[in-house]
């Protein structure tokens, strides 16, 4: 592995977080299947990616100096 990426774009991190949340939800009586957890991870990653793109566009528009 030579490519780097931010932690919030890691499927492993999000999968682990969803697994913990699903365990806690199970204690509260809410049952999430493995397929639902996978769908939730994919949805969260899409939202995070879209948010990153929006932040990049807003940052460029708000910038006070031009690119070389």
Cα separations (Å) of 62 from 17, 40, 65, 67? 33, 33, 9, 13
pLDDT at 15: 85
Contact status, residue 52 vs residue 59, Cβ threshold 8 Å: no
**pTM of the full structure:** 0.58
Split at pLDDT 50, 70, 90, the class of 1 is low
- Candidates 21, 20, 15; CA nearest to 39 is 15
pLDDT at 59: 85
Q: Model confidence over 14-68: pLDDT tens digits? A: 888 888 888 888 888 888 787 888 888 888 888 888 888 888 888 888 888 876 6
């Amino acid at each position: 592995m030579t490519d780097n990426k931010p932690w919030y774009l890691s499927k492993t991190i999000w999968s682990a977080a969803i697994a913990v949340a699903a365990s806690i939800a199970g204690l509260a009586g809410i049952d999430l299947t493995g397929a639902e957890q996978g769908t939730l991870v994919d949805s969260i990653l899409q939202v995070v990616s879209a948010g990153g793109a929006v932040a990049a566009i807003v940052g460029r528009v708000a910038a006070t100096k031009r690119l070389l």
